A and B are shown apart, each in its own frame.
Chain A
Amino acid sequence: MMQIWSIAGKEFSDGLRNRWLLAISLLFAILAVGIAWLGAAASGQVGFTSIPATIASLASLATFLMPLIALLLAYDAIVGEDEGGTLMLLLTYPLGRGQILLGKFVGHGLILALATLIGFGCAAVAIALLVDDVDLGMLLWAFGRFMVSSTLLGWVFLALAYVLSSKASEKSSAAGMALGVWFLFVLVFDLALLALLVLSKGTFNPDLLPWLLLLNPTDVYRLINLSGFEGSGNAVGLMALSRDLPVPASLLWLCLLLWVGVSLLLAYWMFRRRLT
């Protein structure tokens, strides 16, 4: 246990040292504030519109960014240490491979969680202070849910990055695979589902389709953040399907957690198979 914290502590201080934490927090804060005030510019308005609209815009942005940042943060976690020569040394210490992996996950996970809290938290505070007649309870609930689910989404992709990192024999191929995973889950998956829907010309059971969304953590994340606002017309594209999804929100959260757990287990399995 002590060792897990030591590794986590090192990863975390690395994140402080190379300014990752600072950079991600700043990026999140700027984008969140920008979207809150300028998000409605397309419809001819400038200024804060509503909490559901802001959250919807933020969620669709975070769907792209969060996985990318998590993958960038962690893709070299294992293969980088291997190339640097420190992995072999670590493995001769009284540590299991699971402890190494878990330590890294805790360290990286803390960086992501803190950056999310600081970055999006700043935007929430700014809205609370600067917008006059905002429902503070609603703001806290919506932003809290958004920040927690964003962190979970980041953790899923951290764990997926460890899978790649344990599999790859070179850092560059891990980077390539990370890009591939991002592309698959963020872009290709939804397109493939739509294509399936169109090409099957109705022979595909439409009741099944919403369930397929659970196979993609970014879709689960979007479902979590778009639900719960009554009468919001923000559900576009594939998300419109979710209206028929007879699943409670708790199941969506569970699904996201499951994604974290299963990916970590897969990473552990890959790491154990890795030769030194």
Chain B
Amino acid sequence: MNAVEIEGVSQRYGSMTVLHDLTLSLGEGEVLGLFGHNGAGKTTVMKLILGLLKVSAGQVHVLGCRPAQADVRRQLGYLPENVTFYPQLSGRETLRYFARLKGAALTQVDDLLEQVGLTSAADRRVKTYSKGMRQRLGLAQAVLGEPRLLLLDEPTVGLDPIATRDLYLLIDRLRQQGASIILCSHVLAGVEAHINRAAILANGCLQAIGSLSRLREDADLPARIRASGLCRREQWLQRWNAAGHTATAVGGNGIEVMAVNGHKVDLLRQLFHEDQPQDIEILQPSLEDLYGYYMSRATTDTEGTQP
């Protein structure tokens, strides 16, 4: 059984369509990264899974049931974007309140506060918390009651690098325990290692979905080879540009060349045979490159369809 099954869903607000015929599934124990520009429909997808919105067309199944059932919600954790709490309650009171509402054991509360590093601030009012602390409290709230499905909307916003690393460690741990996770973000750096699959949304349409290697293959983006300390840089530049590769000079004696799939090994062999590079870096297309590629394709598509 899939944790989330979205089939042919369209969502309209009045005359505005925010999701077009979306089909998406999330397996048990899988982490799906959901990426897209502001207003692409990420939060709408979350709300559909949470049962806060009724679909205009299509079907949504969560943990094998319809969303919004109490049984489903008990097994579900959600961290909203820009999470806020009752300012007059302390961190510990807040977590205890939400634990009672969820029917989770109150003994978890202190453990969770420790896990997100809020033990020392637990008895201060939430009013005095910084944005990052609120975000961490929100995360602790989402993990209450060991959810089987976790929805995180922009979880890293406002977190410092250490807290971000801790967040990803927590995600990895939850995944090992068998939780399914949807991670919604437009901060792409650092996410790659922690997701199984990525889905890219633009203007309410799913542009691409699959593992990162799958997406790389489909996008067919060039890897960049960067070599430094070359003796004959100018000759390389001329030769490669003439051969149709895009090569540019970098640094003192360096060169960067775009290696379209299939040419990478060739180019490297040439470099090693005919020169003595001091250092070589191979940069695979990153998630950011993929994202940029699918985004620009989405804009050209919509421009193409509109006369």
Chain A residues within CB distance 8 Å of chain B:
2-3, 6-7, 10, 14, 17-18, 84-86, 88-96, 276
Q: Are A17 and B88 also in contact (CB < 8 A) when A89-B78, A92-B78, A94-B70 are?
A: yes
Question: For residue A84, which residues in chain B have a CB less than 8 angstroms away from its CB?
Answer: 84, 86-87
Partner of B50, one of A7, A10, A18, A92: A92
CB distance from A95 to the nearest CB of B (A): 6
Question: For residue B86, which residues in chain A have a CB less than 8 angstroms away from its CB?
Answer: 10, 84, 86
- Could you list 10 further interchain pairs (A-B, Cβ under 8 angstroms) beyond the known A89-B83, A93-B102? A6-B101, A10-B97, A14-B88, A89-B78, A89-B80, A89-B98, A92-B52, A93-B98, A95-B70, A276-B52
A92 to B73 alpha-carbon distance, docked (Å) = 7
**Binding site of A, secondary structure by majority: helix, strand, loop or mixed?**
helix
- Please determine whether B82 and A85 come into contact, CB atoms closer than 8 angstroms: yes
Question: For residue A95, which residues in chain B have a CB less than 8 angstroms away from its CB?
Answer: 70, 101
Q: Are A6 and B83 also in contact (CB < 8 A) when A92-B76, A93-B73, A276-B47 are?
A: no
User: Of residues 63 to 88 in B, which have CB atoms within 8 Å of A's CB atoms?
Assistant: 70-71, 73-74, 76, 78, 80, 82-88
Residue of B with least CB distance to A276? B52
A8 to B141 alpha-carbon distance, docked (Å) = 20
- Please determine whether A94 and B88 come into contact, CB atoms closer than 8 angstroms: no
Question: For residue B88, which residues in chain A have a CB less than 8 angstroms away from its CB?
Answer: 14, 17-18
Q: Are A94 and B103 also in contact (CB < 8 A) when A276-B47, A276-B52 are?
A: yes
Question: For residue A14, which residues in chain B have a CB less than 8 angstroms away from its CB?
Answer: 88
Residue of B with least CB distance to A85? B84
CB distance from A272 to the nearest CB of B (A): 12
Question: For residue A10, which residues in chain B have a CB less than 8 angstroms away from its CB?
Answer: 86, 97
Question: For residue A86, which residues in chain B have a CB less than 8 angstroms away from its CB?
Answer: 84-86
Question: For residue A94, which residues in chain B have a CB less than 8 angstroms away from its CB?
Answer: 70-71, 73-74, 101-103
Residue of A with least CB distance to B88? A17
Indicate if B100 sits at the interface (CB-CB under 8 A).
yes
Q: Are A88 and B97 also in contact (CB < 8 A) when A2-B103, A276-B47 are?
A: no
Residue pairs across A and B with Cβ atoms less than 8 A apart, 20 shown, are A2-B100, A10-B86, A84-B86, A84-B87, A85-B80, A85-B82, A86-B86, A88-B80, A89-B98, A91-B50, A91-B52, A92-B76, A92-B78, A93-B73, A94-B73, A94-B74, A94-B101, A94-B103, A96-B70, A276-B53
Q: Chain B: how many interface residues by the 8 Å CB criterion?
A: 25
A166 to B78 alpha-carbon distance, docked (Å) = 24
Question: For residue B74, which residues in chain A have a CB less than 8 angstroms away from its CB?
Answer: 94
Residue of A with least CB distance to B86? A86
Q: Are A3 and B100 also in contact (CB < 8 A) when A86-B85, A92-B52, A93-B73 are?
A: yes
Question: For residue B87, which residues in chain A have a CB less than 8 angstroms away from its CB?
Answer: 84
Residue of B with least CB distance to A89? B80
Residue of B with least CB distance to A91? B52
Among A3, A90, A96, max chain B CB count under 10 A is at: A3
- Please determine whether A6 and B52 come into contact, CB atoms closer than 8 angstroms: no
CB distance from A188 to the nearest CB of B (A): 36
Sorted from nearest, which 4 A-B pairs have the closest CB atoms? Answer: A85-B84, A94-B70, A94-B73, A6-B100
CB distance from B150 to the nearest CB of A (A): 12
A263 to B84 alpha-carbon distance, docked (Å) = 30
CB distance from A78 to the nearest CB of B (A): 14
CB distance from B270 to the nearest CB of A (A): 57
The proximity string for B residues 93-114 relative to A, scoring 1 for CB distances below 8 Å and 0 otherwise, is: 0000110111100000000000
CB distance from A259 to the nearest CB of B (A): 30
CB distance from B16 to the nearest CB of A (A): 14
CB distance from A6 to the nearest CB of B (A): 4
A84 to B80 alpha-carbon distance, docked (Å) = 13
CB distance from B43 to the nearest CB of A (A): 10
- Please determine whether B97 and A6 come into contact, CB atoms closer than 8 angstroms: yes
Question: For residue A90, which residues in chain B have a CB less than 8 angstroms away from its CB?
Answer: 101
User: Of residues 19 to 68 in B, which have CB atoms within 8 Å of A's CB atoms?
Assistant: 47, 50, 52-53
CB distance from A151 to the nearest CB of B (A): 26
A88 to B53 alpha-carbon distance, docked (Å) = 11
